[in-house]
Amino acid sequence: MEFDLKPGERLDDLQTKDLRIIQSDEVFSFSLDAVLLAHYVTLRNRDRVLDMGTGNGVIPLLLASRSELPRRAGIVGLEIQERLADMAQRNVSGNQLQETIEIVNGDLREAVRHFGHESFDVVTCNPPYRPAGIGDASLNPHVAIAKHEITAKLEDVVTAAAKLLKYQGKFAMVHRPDRLADIIALMKLHKLEPKRLLLVHPRAHLRPNILLIEAIKGGKPELRIDPPLFVHTDDGGYTQAILDIYAGRGEFAR
């Protein structure tokens, strides 16, 4: 494997299937949220998948490592920031996944014009969590766009997913528990029926700070709440469940 590193970039180990990823402290790096989403979403053989707001391409890379998808599966990563899209493309090339993953530099709000209606079986998204103007906005524009709803609001994300998904297609998203009511209301408004929900707790005695949710376009009402996932043990280390997920051995109930 050969990776085209630019100044200020480093090469990190994704710790699964010998995958590597280019990252930089100058832009927003991936976190546990992305890893959890890539393992939580339901995939079937030959699904065509779109990851909206793909950043440096970590979710497409992790999806390509899952056994449900063949080597030539169609995975597309859509990223509005040119610098991150370029980084994602170099991650795809460096990991020799050009036949599996395509990176597109574009706006998710214009995605239907680019890809067409009902063109994907699965859509994933790790969107900005904070409304613009709330909290401390980073002076770094790359980080600000990743954390705050500057280029896309929650409704933009859900609307795009609904238009891009085929009937009975799946939309999986990671977000914050305090936005759950908004998420479910928007999903139902756009005919995306929430079917699975997982709450992730930093420790067993603390409130959840991450949620994972999966909806089906045109699905029947029935939301299943999965058992909670705990990230850290009392001594601060990762729980075995999280270690298994990072190693590609973790299994979520489906």
Contact 160, 188 (CB under 8 A): no
| pLDDT for 120 beyond 90 | yes
**What pLDDT does 149 receive?**
47
Supply 72's token pair. Answer: 């030539």
**Of the candidates 200, 50, 189, 34, the residue with the CA atom closest to the CA atom of residue 111:** 50
Q: Is the pLDDT of residue 52 over 80?
A: yes
pLDDT at residue 216 in the model: 98
C-alpha–C-alpha distance, residues 213 and 225, integer Å:
9
Mean pLDDT of the 87-91 span = 96
pLDDT band at 146 (very low <50, low <70, confident <90, very high): very low
Give the pLDDT score at 33: 93
Return the pLDDT at 138.
52
Buried b (16+ CB within 10 A) or exposed e, 145-182: bbbbbbbbbbebbbbbbbbbbbeebbbbbbbebebbee
Task: Say if CB 204 and CB 235 are below 8 A apart.
Answer: no
pLDDT recorded at residue 130:
60
Architecture per CATH, domain 10-246, reads as 3-Layer(aba) Sandwich (3.40)
| Average of per-residue pLDDT across 191-215 | 97
How much is the pLDDT for 145? 45
User: How confident is residue 40, by pLDDT bands cut at 50, 70 and 90?
Assistant: very high
Q: How far apart are CA 38 and CA 172, in angstroms?
A: 9
Mean pLDDT (whole number) for 145-150: 48
pLDDT above 60 (res 166): yes
Higher pLDDT, 116 or 143: 116
The span from the first CA to the last CA of the chain, in angstroms, equals 34
Count of C-beta atoms within a 10 Å radius of residue 93 = 16
Mention every residue, 6+ apart, whose C-beta is less than 8 A from residue 70: 45, 46
Q: What pLDDT score was predicted for residue 247?
A: 79
* Average pLDDT of the chain to the nearest whole number: 89
Question: Does the pLDDT of residue 135 top 80, yes or no?
Answer: no
pLDDT (mean) for 52-57: 95
pLDDT at res. 104: 98
For residue 253, pLDDT over 60 is answered with yes
d(CA 119, CA 103): 16
How much is the pLDDT for 73? 74
Q: What is the mean pLDDT of residues 68-80?
A: 83
